[in-house]
Amino acid sequence: MDLCSMDMEQDSAVDRMMEPRSIAIVGASSDARKRGYQIVESLVRNGYPHPIYPINPKGGAILGIPVLSSIDELPLELDLAVIARPADQVIPILEACCRRRVAGAVILASGFKESGPDGARRQEALQSFLATHDIRVIGPNTSGIINFNHGADLVGLKQQCRIGPISAVTQSGNMLLSLLADIEHHRTPGLDAYAGLGNQADVDVAELILAFSRRASTKAIAVHAEGLHDGRALIATAAEVSRGCPIVLVRGGRSEAGRHTALSHTGSVSGSDRVATGLLGQAGIIQVERVDELAVVAGALSSLPLPKAGKGVAIVSDGGGHATLAADSLTAAGLRLATLSEQARQALHRYLGATAAVSNPIDVASAGDASPRLFAQCIELLQSEPDVGVILVVGLLGGYHLRFDPEDEVQENAACLDIGRTAAAGKFPVVVHSCYEHRRPAAHQHLREHGIPVLGSIEHAVSCVQALVRRSHWLATAAQRTDAQALGRYARPTGQRTASVLSEPEARASLAAAGVDTGPWLFAENAAQARAHVAALGRPCAFKIVADGISHKSDVGGVRLNVGEDLAETAWTGMVEAVRRAHPDSAIRGVIVTPMIDAGTELLIGVTVDPGFGPMIAFGAGGVTIEALQDIAFRALPLTELEAKEMILETRIAKILAGYRRLPSIDMDTLARFIVDIGASSLRMENLADLEFNPVILNQSGLHIADVRLISAP
């Protein structure tokens, strides 16, 4: 089964745009400097096999193709029109296209949302038009789209590009050029289809990813995105697409400085980097940290089988230097070296000699003059090791004849062919680093022809291994993850809403109604009642003032801790007086009384509704001190227990929750269920804007919600 060609709604307008069987160029030109000429020229040069309809009121012909003088002369039901005319002419042109029932248009013009208030108004007008007309639009302000198989290049590239299994969508046209450069530079698999996002006035990144995933010729999708306008749509789509086809993403605008730049670039704002990292990963998106990894990692995911989940990595090296660096890099990437069986180690000793290092990393160097044949033998052996899921070769493979004896080339080529065939036959992932990669030996081509990436950088090779292992793990546990339908049930909020902070009794009551037990609490309206409440709760209590417009209670003397029954009335009086002094005009409603909670590890659990991603949950270290350290992870709601556990394990404080010296511990299942329940309850609360439990105290008797803050947006 081809996992990447999902059998969904077929031949949507976007699918037709990406596989066009007819193209109109509105604004075609015979001036070689103009985009309207370059597109026609590029279609002709690349041998685009379907009808081309240049349109220009002047008529005539461009490169021998007759030019239509008006859109109205087009045949009906064209797949695609490219609009190479200025912004102010776009809507009338779209109207004309609609009359001819053109499926979709690519709008190249800038001058929309990215260019200030006038542009923003122009984009609003465009979107209003599209809401009532039956045509789909990519852009405006897009670099164009390309179908590499058919030579349908509407970007107008000058360079040849290797056709291959990667489809790409980028925010910036230059990122397409970077991708093409890296494909050529690192000799990774080539491109199938491309779309420039532009301002996403209609078709957005999620819809393009979905369209690409439907292409039988696409085996991986590479994405460069900046602002994630509708993050919820993206994660819902990705959660579905990722089940079949890998999505690799590099994001721009992750830093404050970068966001500022992205804003002036496309008019879109990215949210918090940490939020996006958590939620995109939850949806199965493989995020790369570096631009120079996008082609490399997408290429590896497109060409290699996945390792079996839960298994480790075997390193086969020539010499300890590269092996050590590879082991370091794998560890930093969160990967584990495989443990080899006793039989395997004995067999490796037979191949490599009694003194060889065979307990992973496996070092072939000690077997005298290293022979590429030894690599092939070791790799074949390791493929059947129970704990080995993927093999990373580091060193000189493919370059021995360059380093030592040129006569070894025949033998080396044969060995690499062997490695390629054995790996392909066993559907086993092998990644090769070679410091002779830049010399382009034929041996590397033998490896690549069998889907094995060969990389000149150890770190790039490790990034490929990391992506394979992560994806394997995600897929193996996909059934335990929130699916696209569940994610799609909750949209990001639209429009501006006013929000208000609930008083703590209101908040606790709302939470109780939604099924969240915030522990015992009582509301006192006078001193005597406060004293009675302390008696009823049976232990020293915390008093917190409930008064209109006062949110930082402790700053105004509105909090008393460890209040016993005997001092309850004194505490009441003292608090009320202090708050009156600080806020003479504030109406004091009373005091909330809660039993003191024994000290322990302070955690934070929060729920918020993100403008891009919709409802989401946060977990991390709590309390004032650690809160400043921002040790917090995020997931979209709803979330599953598995996802909650993964979220917990992303934080540094997770290290001490399973038991550390004399600190209280908790098992991960219990904590994960606690988080999942809070998430589920929050989704039942209408008008929830923001919920924060900080601290949630983990002590010897369990988890206790010590403080509650709830904001609603009715």
Considering only residues 614 to 633 of the shown chain, the ones binding a copy of itself according to CB under 8 A are 624-626, 628-629, 631
Query: Could you say which residues in the range 660-689 bind a copy of itself, by CB under 8 A?
Result: 660-663
Contacts of 465 (CB under 8 A, 6+ apart): 313, 330, 333, 335, 390, 392, 431
Stretch that binds a copy of itself, among 67-75, 122-130, 248-256, 412-420 (CB under 8 A): 248-256
Say whether residue 364 binds a copy of itself (CB under 8 A): no
Stretch that binds a copy of itself, among 11-19, 79-87, 207-215, 401-409 (CB under 8 A): 401-409
* CB 141, min distance to a copy of itself, A: 11
Query: Could you say which residues in the range 4-33 bind a copy of itself, by CB under 8 A?
Result: 33
Task: Give dist(CA 434, CA 439) in Å, integer.
Answer: 10
Outline where 477-565 has alpha helix (H). Answer: 484-488, 504-514, 527-537
Say whether residue 262 binds a copy of itself (CB under 8 A): yes
Task: Give dist(CA 535, CA 533) in Å, integer.
Answer: 5
Rule CB under 8 A: choose which of 86, 404, 425, 700 binds a copy of itself.
404
Residues 437-466, mask of contacts with a copy of itself (x by CB under 8 A) = xx-----------------xxxxx------
Say whether residue 224 binds a copy of itself (CB under 8 A): yes
Residues 117-156, mask of contacts with a copy of itself (x by CB under 8 A) = ----------------------------------------
Asked whether the beta carbons of 367 and 332 are under 8 A apart, the reply is no
Query: Could you say which residues in the range 283-322 bind a copy of itself, by CB under 8 A?
Result: 290-292, 318-322
3-class secondary-structure state, position 145: strand
* CB 395, min distance to a copy of itself, A: 6
Say whether residue 181 binds a copy of itself (CB under 8 A): yes
- Token digits of residue 317: 């090296």
**653, burial (CB in 10 Å: exposed 0-12, middle 13-18, buried 19+):** buried
Backbone angles phi, psi at 272, to 5 degrees: -60, 135
* CB 306, min distance to a copy of itself, A: 22
Backbone angles phi, psi at 585, to 5 degrees: -95, -5
Say whether residue 372 binds a copy of itself (CB under 8 A): no
Task: Give dist(CA 284, CA 278) in Å, integer.
Answer: 10
Residues 335-354, mask of contacts with a copy of itself (x by CB under 8 A) = --x-----------------
Residue 147's identity, in one-letter code, is: N
| β-strands 688-699, 702-705 pairing | antiparallel
Rule CB under 8 A: choose which of 51, 151, 258, 611 binds a copy of itself.
258
Nearer to a copy of itself, 40 or 94 (CB): 40
Task: Give dist(CA 703, CA 180) in Å, integer.
Answer: 53
Task: Give dist(CA 685, CA 497) in Å, integer.
Answer: 16
Task: Give dist(CA 679, CA 606) in Å, integer.
Answer: 9
Say how many residues touch a copy of itself, by CB under 8 A: 89
Rule CB under 8 A: choose which of 275, 396, 592, 597 binds a copy of itself.
396
Query: Could you say which residues in the range 518-557 bind a copy of itself, by CB under 8 A?
Result: 554-555
For Cα atoms 598, 603, 605, give the angle at the middle one, nearest 5 degrees: 125
* CB 402, min distance to a copy of itself, A: 7
Backbone angles phi, psi at 612, to 5 degrees: -100, -45
* CB 566, min distance to a copy of itself, A: 19
Stretch that binds a copy of itself, among 326-334, 482-490, 567-575, 678-686 (CB under 8 A): 326-334
Outline where 105-204 has alpha helix (H). Answer: 117-131, 173-185
Stretch that binds a copy of itself, among 81-89, 232-240, 264-272, 539-547 (CB under 8 A): 264-272
Rule CB under 8 A: choose which of 5, 127, 324, 477 binds a copy of itself.
324
Say whether residue 74 binds a copy of itself (CB under 8 A): no
- Token digits of residue 120: 């923003």
Residue 267's identity, in one-letter code, is: G
The DSSP symbol for 361 reads: S
Nearer to a copy of itself, 102 or 146 (CB): 146
Nearer to a copy of itself, 85 or 136 (CB): 85
Backbone angles phi, psi at 23, to 5 degrees: -135, 130
Q: Roughly what angle, to the nearest 10 degrees, separates helices 668-684 and 504-514?
A: 100
| β-strands 541-547, 588-595 pairing | antiparallel
Say whether residue 84 binds a copy of itself (CB under 8 A): no
For Cα atoms 168, 237, 182, give the angle at the middle one, nearest 5 degrees: 20
Query: Could you say which residues in the range 629-658 bind a copy of itself, by CB under 8 A?
Result: 629, 631, 652-653, 655-656
* CB 381, min distance to a copy of itself, A: 19
Contacts of 237 (CB under 8 A, 6+ apart): 206, 207, 209, 210, 484
Say whether residue 58 binds a copy of itself (CB under 8 A): no
Residue 408's identity, in one-letter code, is: D
Say whether residue 331 binds a copy of itself (CB under 8 A): yes
